Chain A
Amino acid sequence: MSESPRLLVEPGRVKLSGSWTLAEMLPRLPALQAELAACPSGIDHWDLSAVTRLDSAAAVLLWRTWGARLPAGLVAGELHRQALQRVAELPREIPEQARTPLRFPELVGALLLKALVNLRGMIALFGQLLLDVGYLIRHPQDVPWKECWANVYKAGAQALAVTAMVGFLIGVTISYLSALQLKSFGADLFIVNILGISIIRELGPVLVAVLVAGRSGSAMTAQIGVMRVTEEIDVLSTMGISRSIRVVLPKIFGLTVAMPLLVLWTSSVALFGGMLAALLQLDLSLIYFLDNLPRAVPVANLIIGLSKGVVFGFVIALVACHFGLRVKPNTESLSANTTSAVVTAITTVILFDAIFAVFTRHIGVPQL
């Protein structure tokens, strides 16, 4: 069975023997190809009668050696002849799959169009959401409370540990670095203002948003995406269950509710970290810090921070669900859309943060 393929060139004819299969040819493929190429081109007598097996890979090889035609003096068994005939029936020139290179303006245009399509999709999803909320107000028994609270638990409660750890470390870092600067001016006491304003108003919400976008946003996109791939989304609609009420709405509700709570939690832990660092670095007692915090940081800052949390949570979930619903049933599209969801969510969060900064610039800044 496993004699290796052999080739014997005699004057005027070529005799092949052995087992001409891909597996047998592989070990000495270059040598075989060279031997075949060295055969004088005029030879029309090919004796394949001693060939035990001939698979299609070998048939293609011979066919190419023969210059895309069957030689007139071919001696071969019926089965081998069939294998060769199959190759002969292929179209002579098989067109290569055309891949047009994308030019730069086209690339820019395509990106812009894609962004517009996504924007439109998100607006449509937002509109659908408003309609759903309207429907649910009229039919309160249809509200999927279980899914909603499950999402609050998944996006909120399960994220407590990681947000606390990151928040604590950031608090320590900022406090430590600011303390070094303030000490040289003798303005130690302003550490309360710096930490309070920066963490409560800005860093807390943005930090949590970035973490949540990576953690919960990507999970939402992947989950909805896999449901698309496995046609589970279609199953829902055949059962007459609205996918937006059952799948999208609970996710958006969950994150919108959980985010301000996470912001509150993370800001507190970050402040605690900052307080500890101030205690060690500047000998500022915890009591002094806590006493002065309300004076240094007007309560409007807390409200701004929490409203940012609500908006960011909503935006992250909306973006995640939109990209999840765009997943096409293949693995490549799933990974591309999950990436886009996280990148778009973080970018949009920063954009909204800038808008917040512009419109709240007169609010909550302590007058000295």
Chain B
Amino acid sequence: MSQPPVIELSGVCASFRGRVVHRDLSLRVEEGQIVGLLGGSGSGKTTLLREILGLLRPDSGSVRLFGVDLNEPDVQLQRDLRRRLGMLFQHGALFSALSVFDNIAFPLRELRCLDADWIRRLVHLKLAMVGLEPMHGKLMPAELSGGMVKRVALARALALEPELLLLDEPTAGLDPDRSQNFVELVGDLQRELGLTVVMVTHDLHTLAGLATHVAVLADQHIIAFGPKAEVMTVDHPFVTGFFGADRRKLL
């Protein structure tokens, strides 16, 4: 394929106050892959996502999205790039001053191309997708339960129909039923739109149900990346510890 990879990190190093988080980290995600990013707590998974988003500039190395370097100075190019990705933050990060409806409508309104009726339909469509009722649109983020915040945040991340979806702990805090729905929803969207998904998760069921590929982050870099079944057989203390007894079930 001549398509550039959706995400390409090469030789990324990052450190916080002298503590090295990433050392010579490389990762290459192709279009259509659903990558589960695993790693112990504090291993820099969220940092990695923030680097991919361009919120955090690595000390050295390059981050390329859709073949475009994030250090490219062209503002217009960078803005268009951001519109092609959606991010679900770990704690939702909804705009607390806006209602659920306005939260989801916000990125659509910012395009300044869509009329009010179109936006309204799209917002209700997204709400329905994540299993919320139209009446929930009036609620303020402070009035939502933890699981609902997650779902609204996902709806907002999906609002701009992103090609790349980054999910930070998407199913943490959801009940098993909801998290199963979530897995199905993202799976459907992936098939429909050819989404590329990178998700940080600790939930084995989400991983088993959704991920096509697994990347394992340990010792400050990606120690294993590949199809799910392959990675599970890697002999590394973290991998064997993580999959442990469940390894056979998932295989």
Pick the interface stretch among B9-17, B191-199, B201-209.
Answer: B191-199
Q: Which residues of A contact B28 (CB under 8 A)?
A: none
In B138-155, the 8 Å CB interface with A consists of: 138, 140-142
Interface size on A, residues (CB 8 A): 35
Assuming the A-B contacts A29-B113, A328-B142, are A83 and B192 also in contact, with contact meaning beta carbons closer than 8 angstroms in the complex?
yes
Partner of B161, one of A55, A90, A97: A55
Dominant SS among interface residues on chain B: helix
How far apart sit A86 and B120, CA to CA, in the bound complex (Å)? 14
Query: CB within 8 Å of B: which residues of A?
Result: 1, 21-23, 26, 29, 53-57, 59-61, 63-64, 79-80, 82-83, 86-87, 89-91, 94, 96-97, 229, 328-333
CB distance from B138 to the nearest CB of A (A): 7
A29-B113, A331-B97 known; A60+B193 contact, CB < 8 A: no
Query: With the chains together, A91 CA to B121 CA distance in Å?
Result: 9
Q: Which of B81-121 touch A at CB < 8 Å?
A: 83-84, 95-97, 101, 111, 113-114, 117-118, 120-121
Contacts of A59 in B (CB 8 A): 125
Kindly report which residue of chain A lies nearest to residue B111, judged by CB atoms.
A26
Contact A23 B161 (CB under 8 A): yes
* Additional pairs, 10, CB under 8 Å, beyond known A97-B101, A331-B95: A53-B193, A55-B161, A55-B193, A63-B121, A64-B117, A80-B192, A87-B125, A90-B125, A97-B137, A330-B141
B162-190, CB < 8 A from A? 163, 188
Determine, out of B19-27, B126-134, B216-224, the stretch whose residues face the partner at the interface: B126-134
Contact, CB under 8 Å: B191 / A97: no
Which residues on the B side are within 8 Å of A54 (C-beta)? 192
Q: Which residues of A contact B83 (CB under 8 A)?
A: 23
Q: B191 — which chain A residues lie within 8 A by C-beta?
A: 79
Kindly state the separation between the CA atoms of A33 and B167 in the bound complex, as whole angstroms.
Answer: 33
Residues on B with C-beta less than 8 A from A60 are: 118, 121-122, 125
Cβ-defined contact, A91 with B134, below 8 A? yes
Q: Which B residues touch A91, using CB under 8 A?
A: 124, 134
Find the A residue at minimum CB distance from B192.
A79
